[in-house]
Chains A and B, each alone.
Chain A
Amino acid sequence: MAVRASARDRVAFAPAWLAALPALVLVCLFSVYPVLIMVANSLGWGRPPADGGPTLEHYLRAFGSTAVLDALINSALIAGGAVLVILVVAVPVVLHQADDDRKGRGSGTTDALLTLPIALPGIIIGFFAIVLTGRTGLFGLAWDGFSGLAYTFSGLLIAYMYFCLPRILGPLRGAAATLDSALTESARTLGASRARVFATVTLPLLLPAIIETGGTALAVALGGYGTVATLSEGVRLLPLNVANELTTGYRLAASSTLAVVLAAMAVLALVLGRALSALVRRAVAS
């Protein structure tokens, strides 16, 4: 009987990896391989008539251009700034929501509203900026200083904050929900002030999740193209340069080079976020 059962199991499960094969083939063909080709193109290994031979020429040209360097610095400042601001705002919001959920009065409407921007493409968020603070924007009627703000550094920063909000609130909410409320409650009954409990209990417990979420959101914000594409007449960010190299004259090697730089920044943000988070988690645990 046991032999028969195992034989049947083998029939059902023998080619287990076969189930994964179609997806793996598609992922390798349409995600991993194109990225490798992109890196090769950036190094001059593209198909002729692309520049022949292995060369760092495209990277030297990119990093020698002030336009590219400006866009790179703007990208880092705007994505980094937006993520930092939203992290500071998100912590009280998720703690409040976790508190409400524990008391069983969590609001589905708040939840849905705060998640909504995740389904909005970046271009709509850029358009929101135009409606409110464009040249004929709504806020411009109240105060002239708001007219055209959408195309400035601060306008773009606010638009990217909108973009980052659901991407930070979502994961942080999960982390806040797993916090043990007994810890904060006992600290409170032992006489610690609200601020002290936050600084010595809640924040250290939440910090690994904050760092990891920040890294992931930074990676997404750095690559966010739609918002800045809609507001492209203003401050320039790196994803715009990536696209421009292709839309104005199909310079595949130059575009691939900038795309590799952009991807490297995003990967760096992700990896740093994970590594720092693991480090802090260990420090807090010990």
Chain B
Amino acid sequence: MSRLITRLTCLFVLVPIIATLVAATSVDFSQGPWGGGLTLDWFAYAWPPMAPVIGRSLAVAALVVALNLAVGGPLAWWVARHPSPLTRLTGYLVNVPLAVPGIALSVALVGTYPMLRPSGLLLVLGHLVFTLPFTLAALVPALADDELRTNESVARSLGAGGARVLRTITVPACLVALTQAVTMVFALSFGEFNISFFINPPATPTAPFALFDSYSTQRLEPASAQSMIFIAFVAPVLTAIVLARRRSPRRTP
């Protein structure tokens, strides 16, 4: 019984993806699956305008990941190692974007900093505050681990410097959590639409906006091809997320 429900749930996830792939490879989808024959023309037609947009989204996501590690890493370290009422308050502040819906935060950001929008700075910073809670959720438990703290203090008492302890003890011990944080942040930023809606620079849209535009202006077939291209870019990242989770010693997501 529960196996059947699991199978059906998998089917529920898979059917729309397969249908979109069929639509993207049909000459005329309104005549049914592969109506008018099988073709890859829609992919050839969709790729050239899509390429620079995907490139831009990849760049934004990479920048957001780097910023997350640069500012979120030290923050996670402080929260994990110096628990106090202050760190609890910090937790609440960082989690604001989890409670406030993306479109609301987008209205809030564009209402406060409209001048930062055209350069794209507001988009990157918006993505940063939106993804920071996920970085913290992955890194804080790993950094708070007792065994890791003992190993660090042993290494330090043997004379290792701070940078060396970080490089040879802390980072290797947190590798799974780091992978989890990096992949999750990357996937979230790459597909982010809600917060981006009002803060995305209008002249240089990211990938989800190119898709959204095609959904309202293009035929179903090229729009399907664009969607499949997008999915092809997130699928490897997702596989990395699942692998990191399966490697993780404690099975708590």
Contacts and interface: CB of A to CB of B under 8 A. Distances in A.
Given A115-B242, A128-B16, A262-B103, 19 more contacts: A24-B75, A30-B109, A31-B93, A31-B129, A92-B1, A93-B2, A93-B5, A96-B5, A111-B246, A116-B238, A123-B212, A124-B231, A138-B22, A162-B13, A225-B103, A225-B193, A243-B103, A243-B197, A267-B100
Interface stretch (A55-63, A64-72, A129-137, A180-188): A129-137
B128 A34 contact: no
A35 interface: yes
B102 A114 contact: no
B101 A174 contact: no
Contacts of A34: 105, 108-109, 111-113
Interface in A249-279: 252, 255-256, 259-260, 262-263, 266-267, 270
Interface in A154-175: 162, 165, 170-171, 173-174
Interface of A: 5, 12, 16-17, 19-20, 22-24, 26-28, 30-35, 37-38, 41, 46, 89, 92-93, 95-97, 99, 101, 108, 110-132, 134, 136, 138, 141, 162, 165, 170-171, 173-174, 177-178, 219, 222-226, 229-230, 239, 242-243, 246, 252, 255-256, 259-260, 262-263, 266-267, 270
B75 A96 contact: no
B241 A115 contact: yes
A132 B16 contact: yes
Q: Is the interface of A mostly helix, strand, loop or mixed?
A: helix
Chain A CB within 10 A, most for which of B94, B96, B108, B246: B108
Interface string B85-106: 0100010011011111111110
B96 A38 contact: no
A115 B238 contact: yes
A256 B12 contact: no
A113 B108 contact: no
B29 interface: yes
B23 interface: yes
A117 B20 CA distance: 14
Given A31-B96, A124-B230, A246 B107 contact: yes
Contacts of B243: 108
Contact of A138 (B19, B78, B190): B19
Interface of B: 1-3, 5-6, 9-10, 12-17, 19-20, 22-23, 29-30, 32-33, 70-72, 74-75, 77-79, 81-82, 86, 90, 93-94, 96-105, 107-113, 125-126, 128-129, 132, 157, 162, 187, 190-194, 197-198, 208, 211-212, 215, 220, 223-224, 227, 230-231, 234-235, 237-239, 241-243, 245-246, 251-253
Chain B CB within 10 A, most for which of A120, A128, A177: A120
Contacts of A173: 251, 253
B194 to A, nearest CB: 5
Contacts of B103: 223, 225, 239, 242-243, 259, 262
Contacts of A33: 112
Chain B CB within 10 A, most for which of A124, A138, A230, A267: A124
Given A92-B6, A96-B2, A97-B6, A252 B111 contact: yes
Contacts of A5: 157
Contacts of A24: 75, 90, 93
A128 B242 contact: no
Contacts of A178: 251-252
